[in-house]
Chain A
Amino acid sequence: MIKVRWLGRGGQGGFTASRLLGKAASIFEGKYAMAFPSFGPERRGAPVLAFTRIDDRKITDRSEFSEYDYLVVMDETLLDESAVGGLVSDGSVILNSSSDRYANRDFNGRKVIAIDATTLALEILGFPITNTAMFGALVAASGVVTLASALKSIDTEMRPSIAEKNKKIVQKAYKMVRENRC
């Protein structure tokens, strides 16, 4: 089973990203997936969590995540020891950051893949909504679903005008991570 924990702020679209990934894996790749938000009230700007589980067999575990394979951090200021501590020993952090101080860094052997998702989102979307950029980066870093499935997922979840721009973001983020240009 692959477990992804999405960490962002209310309004950044972390839960949407968790669902896009679940849908790509289940509907478009014939696997099983589960996506859920941190339960309870959601507040814009407050730290929020979302989760995706992906497996080749039916997923029945309904408990909270004790550990995870990927930690996607949509807001650099939320990165802390406790969030990284939940990663498995060979897990990775996918981090939205414009700074180069994370280049070649690791957290006790856990790889950090930093991408300037905010600039990418502003460039294509015109808003600092980074969820699809981080989705593209995660897909590239993990290979848990194909880029094609990720794009299909966006096509079926968003209005056409918004879908086009977000697909562009996913493709670009994917390329940046795959070509190690971030």
Chain B
Amino acid sequence: MKTQMSKQKVFISGDEAVALGVRLARPHVISAYPITPQTIVVERLSEMVEDGSLKARYIHVESEHSAMSAAMGASAVGARAFTATSSQGLLYMAEGMHYASGGRMPIVMMNANRSLALPWSIFGDHRDSLSMLDSGWIQVYVEDAQEALDMTIQAFRIAEDAAVLTPFMINLDGFILTHTYEIVDIPDQSKVDSFLPVFKTPNKMSLEKPKSMGFSTSPADNMEFKYQQHKAMLDAKDIIHSVDKEFGKTFGRSYGGMIDSYNCEDADYVLVTAGSVTGTARIAVDNLRSRGIKAGLVKLRYLRPFPDEEVRAAAGDVKAIGVLDKDISFGYEGTIFTNVNSALAHLSIRPVSINFIAGLGGRDISIKDIEGIYHDLEEAVTVGKDKSFAKVRYVNMGVEIDG
């Protein structure tokens, strides 16, 4: 019989999966301001606090700037703090985000990836989080609701590790993940409790031991602070790998750490993605493989710290790499493309690399679009030897700029 009934499996949206993950992580403080398409996360959390199923303090602040400030205050006294936002809300937090990372406060934040105004748009792309790539926050991009829940639990564990102490941003594609319902396995609370022990900060501000967490520096020691912040982010890579492995042993699911590669072993053409479009690209890869084209896929799970070694190992020796960016850094190219190229620059023989800008402001990316990207890569390798080709291409636009 096919029927399986498990209390652990639920049919929920990405937003609800994050809220359930947060509840399992037992934060002390949640401070948030609602914004589409994040709203359901904070609505569910406030309901959980209200009905007593989550013993936390919910602070409904008057703005995202205050949401970040309140989370910092909570983190400074050793509380586990969570917040969530999207788009313009994330940008309104920007000042506080640098404070939080500089103060080594392991706050966890969910960001519903959404376009930036103008034109005002509630639909998804990665321009919000990528514009905060240098804010000193760890950034992970998830592919489905299950990964969203699992990474919410892993996020606290990684951020709070004594070697890391760095705030953590979990990115979910707006609507495509936040508002899509799918089956999600809910881990046992007791297992989560042993996987994620109570947060103990080495930098606690308290009445017994008053200290300033809003310090200033002179030119004589500022660089040392920034160096340590950078080193902690680099050291986070090992912690990310070990936490993901341990998560796999405990809960039966792991995600590959910094990247997840699909069919890369013998691939000629590899597409690099981040977030939910990876799922669609998997089908395109299967279709191309069935036609004898050696297509592979690299899902960048983390963009900070950046998986440079992993990208080189997975795709360094292919014929061509495509990078799908739901972003443009105006006046240059997609930001993920810049980062991938910088990783490839360390190779003596580099594959052809092409940037594919797609999905801005929520534009659909179909399986056919992605198959077209692989055909472009194939063509660039065969034709490109004699002819220059556009390195930045716009999917579903019918235009080209460079060439």
Seen from chain A, the residues whose Cβ lies within 8 Å of a Cβ on chain B are 19, 22-23, 26-37, 39-41, 59-64, 66, 149
B365 and chain A: residue at smallest CB distance: A63
Q: How far apart are the CA atoms of A41 and B183 in the complex, in Å?
A: 24
- Cβ of A66: which chain B residues have Cβ within 8 Å of it? 366
Q: How far apart are the CA atoms of A28 and B4 in the complex, in Å?
A: 6
- Cβ of B278: which chain A residues have Cβ within 8 Å of it? 60
Q: How far, in Å, is B364 (CB) from chain A's closest CB?
A: 4
Q: How far apart are the CA atoms of A60 and B366 in the complex, in Å?
A: 12
A149 and chain B: residue at smallest CB distance: B3
- Cβ of B173: which chain A residues have Cβ within 8 Å of it? 62
Binds A, one of B48-56, B72-80, B156-164, B279-287: B279-287
Indicate the size class of the contact surface on chain B. 20 to 34
- Say yes or no: is B122 at the interface (Cβ < 8 Å to chain A): yes
Are A33 and B9 in contact (CB-based, < 8 A)?
A: no
B11 and chain A: residue at smallest CB distance: A23
Q: How far, in Å, is A179 (CB) from chain B's closest CB?
A: 26
Seen from chain B, the residues whose Cβ lies within 8 Å of a Cβ on chain A are 2-5, 9-11, 122-123, 143-144, 173, 175-177, 179-183, 276-280, 282-283, 362, 364-367
Are A60 and B283 in contact (CB-based, < 8 A)?
A: yes
10 extra A-B contacts, CB within 8 A, seeds A63-B280, A66-B366: A31-B2, A32-B182, A33-B183, A36-B180, A39-B362, A59-B182, A60-B283, A62-B277, A63-B367, A149-B3
Secondary structure at the A interface, as helix, strand, loop or mixed, is loop
Q: How far apart are the CA atoms of A19 and B183 in the complex, in Å?
A: 11
Q: How far apart are the CA atoms of A36 and B178 in the complex, in Å?
A: 10
Given A28-B3, A29-B3: A41 and B122 within 8 A (CB)? yes
Q: How far, in Å, is B395 (CB) from chain A's closest CB?
A: 12
Are A62 and B175 in contact (CB-based, < 8 A)?
A: no
- Cβ of B367: which chain A residues have Cβ within 8 Å of it? 61, 63
B13 and chain A: residue at smallest CB distance: A36
Are B179 and A36 in contact (CB-based, < 8 A)?
A: yes
Given A29-B2, A62-B276: A19 and B181 within 8 A (CB)? yes
Are B176 and A62 in contact (CB-based, < 8 A)?
A: yes
- Cβ of B279: which chain A residues have Cβ within 8 Å of it? 60-62
Are A27 and B364 in contact (CB-based, < 8 A)?
A: no
Q: Looking at the complex, which one of A29, A36, A61, A64 makes contact with B283 (CB distance below 8 Å)?
A: A61
- Cβ of A41: which chain B residues have Cβ within 8 Å of it? 122
- Cβ of A35: which chain B residues have Cβ within 8 Å of it? 11, 180-182
Given A19-B181, A40-B122, A64-B366: A33 and B11 within 8 A (CB)? yes
Q: How far apart are the CA atoms of A153 and B152 in the complex, in Å?
A: 28
Which one of B5, B11, B180, B367 has the highest number of Cβ atoms from chain A below 10 Å of its Cβ? B11
